[in-house]
Amino acid sequence: MGEKLRLYGFNNLTKALSFNIYDVCYAKTPREQRDYIAYIDEQYNSERLTGILTNLTDMIGAKILNIAKQDYEPQGASVTILIAESSMIPAGETQLAHLDKSHVTVHTYPEYHPETSLATFRVDIDVATCGEITPLSTLDYLIGSFDSDIITMDYRVRGFTRDVGGRKLFMDHRVASIQDYISEDILHAYDAVDMNVYAANLFHTRMMRKDIDLQNYLFKTDVYELPPKIRLEITNNISREMIEIFSGQNIY
């Protein structure tokens, strides 16, 4: 598949990337927890999320057809962008028609529980493209756009297209692992595991940050204000929270 495929008609394979991140924070008092949610709502409001998705759309060479965005009360935001990756001129006509069966969406979910002193910010991004382009090339940008402690990614290819000889093609690019599309510098900071179903063109990768620099997880608190025993306790609680989210189950 290294050479450009000669297709009959246009490429109508659907390539979908689900990109999900969690950011964990320690906020001791109810006031700090509320302030953290307010901070996240301000930092990742619909306006900034629209900017992130607009840059992503530019990166994959798509054209924006429509943008819908919404901030929610008491918290959270959503953005949906309808995109066209390419265009074609139907035989015998001069009218330009866009293939607009593609979209990019983002939803945010800030939350906290008063008994754990831990607040979690979740971001769900879905990119669905129909054509030659693939959203996998945007992973470094997406990871860098958020404070990503835990990342889960799903990539799937659906449908089929045909070559000029009529042979069906269910995949038009080689994918062994989602990790192949992430830079070495980023991968070095995470533990990562794959669960792939190659026969079904399904690819899944989970990543969890290796090292916990406690100061990065404290909200409005300096790490040196805390006694060593408390610092260790908070670090362990954050580590447990991350492991359970990464594993998708209650372990402790």
Distance between CA 221 and CA 164 in Å, rounded?
64
Q: Which of 25, 46, 117, 130 is catalytic?
A: 130
18 - beta bridge partners? 126, 154
Between CA 32 and CA 148, with CA 209 as vertex, the angle to 5 degrees is: 55
Nearest to residue 102, comparing CAs of 82, 88, 86? 82
Per-residue burial over 184-203, b = 16 or more CB atoms within 10 Å of its CB, e = otherwise: eebeeebebeeebeeeebeb
- The answer to whether residue 25 is catalytic is no
- The answer to whether residue 86 is catalytic is no
Q: Which of 102, 117, 145, 148 is catalytic?
A: 102
72 touches 80 (CB < 8 A): no
Q: Which of 107, 117, 145, 148 is catalytic?
A: 107
- The answer to whether residue 204 is catalytic is no
Active site residues: 102, 107, 130
